[in-house]
Amino acid sequence: MRRLGLWGLLLWGLGLAQAPILYLPLDDRPPNWAPCAWGLVLCPPKEAYRGPEGADLSRLRVWLLATPGKRLVASVDVLAYGGLLQSRHLALPPEDALARLGPLLSWKVRHGGELLLFGVVPRWDATQRGRNLAVLQALARWSGLAGVYLEAVWDDALRGSPAPGEARSLAYPSRPGADEAGQVLLLRALRPGLRVAVVYEEVALAHRVTPYEGLPLRETVAGLLGSAGAREVALAEGPDLVLYAYGGRNPRRAIQDLLHLMPRFPVVLADLSRVNRGDPGLMAYLQALGLYPRLAAYASWGTPANNLGSALAQGGLFLKDPEGRLGRLAEAYFAYWWGEVGRLWVRSRFSEPLPERASAVKELWPYLELEGHRVDLLRVEFPWRRSFEAWGLLEALPLSRWPEVVN
């Protein structure tokens, strides 16, 4: 029996001896915490992350200083404030926030590893954005240290948001996004130098200013490739991976593109048609033609930067791991299903904080087949007791065994 759980529980600890990469997530929501179950990195104890209450900072510091590693991918905001939610409104002087980041440099001195760090320029409604910007500006001196990579990502920039301008004022790289940032930096840590060709559903999509980003999509893509340590190449150069950006205009034409690309290259598909939801028409084509299991990765769960970044990261990280690739595709399908079906069902029946009986939504899970396996949804959990995000515990059984399981 094979499980793909809490977004894909797979072979914890596999490969850590060969590549001891530490990962300090922004918080414990699914896109941030998911890499901790992929068998590629070492994470703090799950109990150190306490949902919307924020992280236990003393416990994180103890774990960090006691744990050696080759590289550390870390959120600045979780150590400074306790997580993304707390970073927006926690009243804390900038000098105190900076002091809380001291263990990062202590870890580097003690264990000799590299630091790959990201901080968040908060969204429009944050009450502490001036403090956060002051902290990010003060961190500029870290970016000049050997063995330190630092970037800023801006969160949910609606039209007129000051976040893009604030980010561009910093003396180190910045781009849109937030919840995919940990995954993208893990790609930089584990597989730098990936050669990526970018294909847009239509030429105009590259120039479109996408929701929550505040700049043309081609600039978002360039920033993501820079974060990942990847290099953009043309299709004629034989890329390691093709990143296909689908804007929702014509699913039939997108499928034709994929049919042309997939026999020649591993292709990751970022569905940018809607925020926090995928395109059912495109998914229907992918399923009917048997293309979904052949993708290198898929994402539709968030904003354009979220989807582009997580698809790119997962496609690159599992490029030579067929089982891991299928595990990520199962998780990505759960996220698509949650945005299209599960979330609507829960919101129509329950108020928040969600009761346990909201997990009955799992009975709506459809039949999903991936490479000779049937994927079932065993349980749905709500880590923050709200409907926006959910964990899915998935199980994959070979189709050859399915009759005996039913009987």
- Domain of 73: which CATH number? 3.40.50
Q: How far apart are the first and last CA of the chain?
A: 16
- Are residue 61 and residue 161 in the same domain, yes or no? yes
How many alpha carbons fall within 13 Å on the CB side of residue 175? 29
In terms of domains, do 298 and 360 share one? no
Instruction: Read off the pLDDT of each residue in 2-30 and give the average, rounded to a whole number.
Output: 61
| pLDDT at residue 7 greater than cutoff 90 | no
Domain closes at, from 190, 216, 235? 190
What residues make up the domain containing 206?
Answer: 193-317
Residue 14 has pLDDT above 50, yes or no: no
In the predicted structure, residue 2 carries a pLDDT above the cut 60: no
Which stretch of DSSP H or E encloses residue 398? strand 391-398
Domain boundary among 134, 165, 190: 190
Flag whether 376 is in a domain.
yes
Q: 328 lies in a domain? A: no
The pLDDT assigned to 159 comes to 83
CATH number at residue 225: 3.40.50.2300
Higher-pLDDT residue of 12, 84: 84
The reply to whether 121 and 200 lie within a common domain is: no
Residues 33 and 166 both lie in one domain: yes
Q: What is the chain's length?
A: 407
End position of a domain, from candidates 190, 212, 245: 190
Domain membership flag for residue 323: no
**Residue 350 to residue 122: CA distance in whole angstroms:** 30
pLDDT above 80 for 301: yes
pLDDT score of 293:
97
If one counts the domains in the chain, the total is 3
- H or E stretch at 313: helix 304-317
Percent of the chain surpassing pLDDT 90: 90
User: How far apart, in whole angstroms, are the C-alpha atoms of residue 79 and residue 57?
Assistant: 6
Say yes or no: 390 and 302 in one domain. Answer: no
Q: What is the pTM of this model?
A: 0.93
Smallest Cα–Cα separation from 299: which of 153, 183, 395?
183
Between residues 261 and 17, the one the model is more confident about: 261
Phi, psi of 330 (to 5 degrees): -65, -45
Look at residue 331 and tell me if it is in a domain.
no
- Verify that 186 and 90 share a domain, yes or no: yes
Which residues are 242's β-sheet partners? 197, 267
Note whether 104 and 136 are within 8 A (CB).
no
- With tokens 């977004």, the residue in question is 7
Is residue 341 one of the residues assigned to a domain?
A: no
Mean pLDDT, the chain, rounded, equals 93
| pLDDT tens, position by position, 94-134 | 999 999 999 999 999 999 999 999 999 999 999 999 999 99
Q: Note whether 287 and 399 are same-domain residues.
A: no
| 186 and 201 within one domain | no
Are 92 and 123 members of one domain?
Answer: yes
121 and 218 fall within a common domain: no
pLDDT at 403 (0 to 100):
54
Give the tens place of pLDDT for each residue, 182-219: 999 999 999 999 999 999 999 999 999 999 999 999 99
**What CA–CA distance (Å, rounded) separates 254 from 257?**
5
pLDDT digits (tens, 9 = 90+) for 125-180: 999 999 999 999 999 999 999 999 999 999 998 888 999 999 999 999 999 999 99
User: What is the amino acid identity at position 8?
Assistant: G
Helix 181-190 vs helix 217-228: angle between axes, to the nearest 10 degrees? Answer: 50
How would you classify the pairing of strands 391-398 and 2-3?
A: antiparallel
Q: How many Å apart are CA 395 and CA 138, to the nearest integer? A: 46
